[in-house]
């Protein structure tokens, strides 16, 4: 049963004391409803009965951390302010309604006419929010322009929480080594390139140059580039800009500007559109008039844009023929071509919708409970101190670290007679190795890459084990602990360990 219906099959008229106005989006995981209370609009996320508990728990955990954080994280990441359950036991999250457009929609409408100051207003707060998230151990905040919506005042708000990963806060000196932090920097550079694609040429180059600097304090570098300006929504498009330029797809804006659609040749007029341009305009208007969801209309528009890009060379060839006073394409051929293109677009849209029925705000993270455990297919390691001593006393740390490093030594590559590479993706590595690594290192960390590679730090670990060395707790940061490995009064290496759901795991080894 759909989540916007009650157990009797009737549409929901009230949820948690809020009056239901209309359905915003639906998926197999649940429904987003526009609700009102005390003349204020809210969004209610009604999860389906069969939505995995891990998905709901993840949403609630992210919301709790974001709401308790300071600005800019709390201001630029959407978080539920209230939780309730329906009479039939479904979980509901309530969060403020954002009246502004989705960012990808704005970029399409303002393509080629977005001022640099407005781009700074969009990008700088998000860069600040990501930096603050890193200080709290949060990664994966930013996905794509479709995952950002604007407030009435033009402030950007990240609305998709399914990509967020929660972990312990790490010291500054470890952040440059963490794959998750590096992935965030890559994601922000791609995101910034999507915004830059809507700027004029000179401003676009300047913004891309700043984005390539990466690193922390990127928000300050963006503010130095240009003073922020309020983001305008209802701006009339420049009639001299081609229809195809005004509405690039979200996919095309994620690549550098050099790959964007070429400008309309001088002398080309919108009164004689190319077939795909005419189909794109007519198809969008038809879908909107039918009252279909914005996500479906956007997917159809993106599909036409994708077809147009694939046929860009043919497009240019037709333009050149037109500029050589060739006979215009007859209307019946435009209609025939439009029908064929529309059929292709329909196939693409239907395929896209059937492959992924999730709305942008209910994209669920991979269900941990349903994911196969590496240990289930390989050698199972019996729980030890790393799994049972979640709050170790000072005298327990030495034994706990010894246990972890014994596992590391057994799992890590030693001296071999072959030069065959050894990594988790190699066919020479058995499933048992993946299971072995999962009992030692934190998933996705620098240690996860180190343990399957040939590296001198493996010898440091083995030397410490042979010397039966000591452990000194250098710094405790909640679920993350920095330790020094001491052998013969000398610091052999430093170890960063974190407490995960599986227990204590190694996140990095510093020689």
Q: Per-residue pLDDT for the chain (511 aa), expressed as one digit of tens each?
A: 556 665 555 677 888 889 999 888 888 888 999 999 888 899 999 999 899 999 999 999 999 999 999 989 999 999 998 999 988 889 999 999 998 999 999 999 999 889 999 999 999 999 999 999 998 989 999 989 999 999 988 899 999 998 899 888 887 777 777 888 889 999 999 999 999 999 987 889 899 999 988 766 788 889 999 999 999 887 655 544 443 344 444 333 343 333 333 333 333 333 334 445 555 555 655 555 455 555 566 667 666 666 655 555 454 545 554 554 444 444 444 444 554 555 555 555 445 444 444 444 433 333 333 333 333 334 455 788 888 888 888 888 989 999 999 998 888 876 533 344 444 444 444 466 667 888 888 888 888 888 888 888 888 888 889 888 888 888 888 788 888 888 877 888 888 988 888 889 999 888 7
- In this structure, which topology does domain 99-231+242-257 adopt according to CATH? Transferase(Phosphotransferase); domain 1 (1.10.510)
CB count in 10 Å sphere of residue 2: 15
Structure tokens given for 487: 């052998």
Q: Which of 143, 154, 71, 142 is nearest to 118 (CA)?
A: 154
pTM given for the model = 0.56
For position 297, what pLDDT does the model report?
60
- What SS3 class is residue 14? strand
Dihedrals φ, ψ of 232, to 5°?
Answer: -100, 145
Q: What are the contacts of 457-460 at 24+ separation with CB within 8 A? A: 457/493, 457/509, 457/511, 458/408, 458/409, 458/412, 458/413, 458/414, 460/485, 460/492, 460/493, 460/509, 460/511
Tokens of 483: 């330790």
Backbone φ/ψ region at 478: left (φ over 0), alpha (ψ -120 to 50), beta? left
Q: Are 274 and 332 in contact (CB under 8 A)?
A: no
14-96 CATH fold: Phosphorylase Kinase; domain 1 (3.30.200)
- With a CB cutoff of 8 Å and minimum separation 6, the contacts of 68 are 74
Tokens 């939505």 belong to residue: 51
pLDDT score, position 116: 94
pLDDT of residue 117: 94
Each domain of the chain, given as residue ranges in start order, spans: 14-96, 99-231+242-257, 273-359, 375-510
- Do residues 241 and 111 lie in contact, with contact meaning Cβ atoms separated by under 8 Å? yes
d(CA 159, CA 137): 19
């Amino acid at each position: 049963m759909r989540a916007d219906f009650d157990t009797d099959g009737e549409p929901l008229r009230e949820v948690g004391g809020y009056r239901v106005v209309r359905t915003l989006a639906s998926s197999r995981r649940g429904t987003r409803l526009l609700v009102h209370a005390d003349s204020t609009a809210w969004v209610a996320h009604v999860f389906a009965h069969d939505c995995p508990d891990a998905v709901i728990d993840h949403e609630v955990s992210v919301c709790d951390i974001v709401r308790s954080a300071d600005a800019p994280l709390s201001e630029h990441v959407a978080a539920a302010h209230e939780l309730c359950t329906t009479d039939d036991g479904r979980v509901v999250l309530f969060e403020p309604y954002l009246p502004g457009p989705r960012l990808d929609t704005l970029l399409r409408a303002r393509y080629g006419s977005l001022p640099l100051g407005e781009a700074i207003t969009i990008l700088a707060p998000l860069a600040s929010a990501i930096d603050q998230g890193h200080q709290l151990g949060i990664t994966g905040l930013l996905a794509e322009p479709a995952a950002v919506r604007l407030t009435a005042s033009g402030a950007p708000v990240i609305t998709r929480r399914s990509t967020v990963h929660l972990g312990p806060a790490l010291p500054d000196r470890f952040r440059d080594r963490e794959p998750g932090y590096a992935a965030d920097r890559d994601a922000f550079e791609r995101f910034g390139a999507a915004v830059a694609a809507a700027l004029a040429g000179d401003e676009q180059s300047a913004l891309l140059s700043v984005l390539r600097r990466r690193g922390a304090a990127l928000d300050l570098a963006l503010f130095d580039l240009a003073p922020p300006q309020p983001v305008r929504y209802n701006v009339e498009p420049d009639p001299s800009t081609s229809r195809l330029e005004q509405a690039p797809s979200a996919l095309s804006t994620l690549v550098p500007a050099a790959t964007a659609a070429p400008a309309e040749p001088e002398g080309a007029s919108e009164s004689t559109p190319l077939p795909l341009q005419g189909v794109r305009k007519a198809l969008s208007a038809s879908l909107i008039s039918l009252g279909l969801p914005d996500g479906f209309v956007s997917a159809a528009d993106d599909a036409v844009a994708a077809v147009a890009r694939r046929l860009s060379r043919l497009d240019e060839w037709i333009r050149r023929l037109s500029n050589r006073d060739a006979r215009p394409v007859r209307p019946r051929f435009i209609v025939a071509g439009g029908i064929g293109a529309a059929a292709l677009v329909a196939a693409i849209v239907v395929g896209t919708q059937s492959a992924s029925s999730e709305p942008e705000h209910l994209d669920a993270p991979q269900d941990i409970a349903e994911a196969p455990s590496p240990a289930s297919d390989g050698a199972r390691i019996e729980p030890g101190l790393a799994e049972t001593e979640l709050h170790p006393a000072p005298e327990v740390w030495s034994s706990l670290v010894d246990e972890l490093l014994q596992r590391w030594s057994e799992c890590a590559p030693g001296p071999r007679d072959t030069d065959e590479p050894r990594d988790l993706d190699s066919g020479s590595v058995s499933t048992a190795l993946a299971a072995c690594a999962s009992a030692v290192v934190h998933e996705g960390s620098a240690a996860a890459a180190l343990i399957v590679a040939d590296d001198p730090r493996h010898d440091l670990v083995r030397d410490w084990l042979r010397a039966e060395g000591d452990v000194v707790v250098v710094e405790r940061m909640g679920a993350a602990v920095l330790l020094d490995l001491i052998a013969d009064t000398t610091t052999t290496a430093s170890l960063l360990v974190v407490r995960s759901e599986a227990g204590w795991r190694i996140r990095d080894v510093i020689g």
